[in-house]
Each structure stands twice: as C-alpha cells, then as structure tokens.
Amino acid sequence: MKIIVVGCGKVGIAIVEQLVAEGHTVTVVDNNKERLGARLGGLDVLTYCGDGCSSATLDGAGIKDTDLFIAAMDTDETNLLSCVIAKKKSSNRCKTIARVRNPIYSMETNFLKQELDIDIVVNPELATADEFARIFKFPYATQIDTFYIQRAELVHFKIKSDSKLKDVSLMDIRMKYNCKVLICMVERGDEVFIPDGHFVLKEGDMVGAMGNQKDIYSFFQKFGFATKKASNVIIVGGGKTGYYVARNLINSGITVKIIEIDRKRCDFLSENLEGIDVICGDGTTKDLLIEEGIQNAAGLAALTDIDEENLLLSLNAKSITDVKTATKVSRTNFEDVIGKLNLDTIIFPNKIVSDRVLQFVRSLQYTLGSNIESFRRLGGGKAEALGFKVTDQSNITGKALMDIKIKKNVLICLISRNGKNIIPSGSDTIEVDDRVVIVHSNADIKNIDDILEN
C-alpha cells in the first residue's frame, strides 16, 4: 500500500517503522527538514518537507494516489483538518487515521468519524490508560490483551519459584485440573513458544492464557494467584494519561492518589476528578513516596513524561515495598534491556498506537475469507495474536479442526459463536460469522485461511 504519515514525532516514527517492516511504500511529511533527516535515518522511506495541513504540501507528497493517510502531528485540530483535506484531494478517497488526544474530543469520537469522514480516531493516552486500568483490576497479570469478543481475554503472567504451575504440563492443566483456559504462548528467555499439550511450564516463564474472564479468574484462584483488584493506587504524573487512568480506576471503586509536580495541573485535576487526593510534589523522590504511603499502596503507576524517571521511580518503589508497578515507557528501542529489569508491567504507548494502525492496514489489504478485527504483538514482536471474523469465502469452515492441517507454530485459541466462547478441541469446527483468535510465531498470517498448510 502507498501510505503518507504526517508528523515525525515519537508516535509517527513508531508507526512508520512498523509500516516499513511490513513492506509498504511510506512517505513521511514534516515541516522540520532537520527532524526528517535525523529521525528517519536507516529507514527506507520517502520524505517531504512542508505543512501537513497545506493542500500544496499534500499534492507534493503524492496524496492523489495514496491509499492511507495518517495524521500524527502535535495538535488535534491540525490532524483532523489534514485528514479532511487528504480525503478530498485523494482521487480514490483514501482512508484516514487521526491521532486525537484532547479528553473533550475523546467523548465525540463517533461524531468526528461520521461528520468529518475520518475512518479511525486514535487517542494514545486513552488507549494507554485502559491498559493501566486493566492491570490494576487484575494485579497478578503483567499484561492483558482484549479482543472484539465478549468477555474474552489473553492474560500474561510469570511463573514464580513458589507457583503451583511450576513443572506442570499443559495437558495436565486442561485434563487433570479441568481448567477451561488455553495456554497459548510461553516466553522463556529470548525464545517464544507456541506450546502443545506436552509442554511443561518452568520457573521464570512468561505465560499467556486465553479464556473467558470468569474462567480465567477461576483458573488463577485454583492455582493460588491473587485475583482481587488493587484497593488503592498511587499515580505519579497527572498528564492526560494520568487523568484517564485515575478516572477509570475511580469508576471501578479503587482509591486513587495522584502526585503531580505542576501546580496548575494539580488544580485542574482537583477540579475535574472527584474523590481523589491530589498531591503537589516530585513523586520521583523516595521521601515523598514514603510520606504519601507507598508502603501501604497496592499499586503504583509511573506516568511522568520522562522514561528514565518512570523506570527509576518504579525501581525505587520496588526497593521500598512489594507494590504492583506499572510503568509507561515511550521509546521502544531499549525494550529488550528494560524487559530484564525487576518490574511488573511495562507499557509502551507507541506500540499500542502502531498495533492499532497495523490492524487497520491489514484489514484493508486482506479481506478474502475473513476480516481482521484485532491485532497485538506479543513476546517483544516474536509472536502475534490476531482476531478474525470469518466470512463465507473462507476455505476453513465446516471442517473438524483435527482434520485440518495447520501450519507449525500456529494455535487456534478461541472460537466465539452466537455470544458463546469456545476453547477449541479437535472435534470443533469454524463456521461462517464465527470470531476466531489465533496466536502464531514465524508465520505470515494475514487471513484466517493463511493458517492452513498448502
């Protein structure tokens, strides 16, 4: 596909990197020539220097025959305006994606899409906040991936030294313990496994389990994991993400305290969020954390605008108490190193946005047999979870799974049919209009039929 990305900031670069990796022709537009050169070094992209809201600039960048236009500039209004111009200038009325961050606009997403004819509106802070909130509602998890399927989740957790799951085979989990979940991915060191029933879990494994929310809770309770949501959470950093996280947690009945260094922002938070304590101060200091009760907190969200501060803040908190930490990191180039730190959950906002964009791009490219509805990279990009809606053009329907030859390192995790979720066995079938979730590694899967061996 031919794609134009306007905006050369962190979000724009994260999107561009993934689009280039998937083989698309990408043109990056920015009004700062030096920034274009400095941030795009080594990437196989075209560049055009100019104002992303200028029709002349978009003409020069090739908008006429562009398939997809993505606006990721600094302000919401310029992103919305550039998408409107792009749609009108494109000869084939290209698809458009706008990054929109203002909390006011987040309440009007459907209006913006319908009235301005924008296909996708992405709010990085709101999407990031949803991830943080899910973690504190289920503290034992390190990551929770949701799909367009009612009450289905992929929950990631670590096998600790005292875990009852240590040295247990996946076959025993399903048969001996009668658990209605499916272990569909295991990270062990630098390797990612799509396991079969003979796979044995070991200490230190990072495990992904798929199932209904109710069955996942039952699974964790059966093996002695804590399932109660955090009772109280300290948020350090009261920006847009902090605001969204606090609002979500308060609505879930969790006590929230925000520590924010900027006085004006503290006033805004106090005026717009009821039922929280707002502390004006530097939350990265150990003395203030202790003074505000980190020893008695169930969770800590590190949400300042500086990655290094967030990492040190979470490490600092871990040195004081065994609090559940969730840490925001914008840059993804040190993901492998950061993953080795003794922290619970690391959330990369830019990956959330680029995953959403890639999901939409793939849905535009590959529609025969199925429509892609969800996409998440797993295991540092070594695996993927994909959700499909099956159409009547698929070649996989009506056949028992035991009779289908599926590619290596591909696992069908869940089938949703008429509001009921099924953890599949060999006798189950995939039917038209089913929603199916698969996990795979080292395979080129763009369509549900791509899981079949030729």
The ranges assigned to domains in the chain are 2-122, 128-222, 232-347, 353-451
- Residue of 292, 293, 249 whose CA lies nearest to 274: 249
pLDDT tens readout for residues 32-86 = 998 898 888 788 999 999 999 999 999 999 999 999 999 999 999 999 999 999 9
Whole-model pTM: value is 0.86
Mean pLDDT of 306-323: 93
- Tokens representing 334 are 């040190």
Fold of 232-347: Rossmann fold (3.40.50)
pLDDT value of position 174: 81
Please tell me the CATH superfamily of domain 128-222, with its number: Regulator of K+ conductance, C-terminal domain (3.30.70.1450)
Greatest Cα pair distance in the chain: 67
Indicate whether 242 pLDDT > 90. yes
pLDDT value of position 148: 64
Query: 128-222 and 353-451 share one CATH topology?
Result: yes
Q: Which of the listed ranges 105-114, 116-125, 176-185, 297-306 does the model predict with the highest average pLDDT?
A: 297-306
**Proportion of the chain above pLDDT 70, given as a percent:** 98
pLDDT value of position 253: 93
Select from 3.20.20.370, 3.30.70.1450, 3.40.50.2300, 1.10.760.10 the CATH code of 353-451: 3.30.70.1450
Place of tokens 């941030």: 39
336 or 452, which is more confident? 452
Q: Say how far apart CA 378 and CA 383 lie, in whole Å.
A: 5
Fold of 2-122: Rossmann fold (3.40.50)
Indicate whether 137 pLDDT > 70. yes
226 or 193, which is more confident? 193
Taking only Cα atoms into account, the Rg of the chain, rounded to an integer number of angstroms, comes to 23
CA dihedral of 384, 389, 390, 393, whole degrees rounded to 10:
-100
Q: Say how far apart CA 69 and CA 62 lie, in whole Å.
A: 11
| Contacts by 129-132, CB closer than 8 A, 24 or more apart | 129/241, 129/243, 129/244, 129/245, 129/247, 129/248, 130/244, 130/248, 131/347, 131/352, 132/241, 132/245, 132/248, 132/301, 132/303, 132/326, 132/328, 132/347
pLDDT tens readout for residues 349-384 = 988 999 889 888 888 876 555 678 888 889 888 899
pLDDT value of position 401: 94
Question: Distance of CA 376 to CAs 147, 150, 354, 449, Å?
Answer: 9, 17, 10, 19
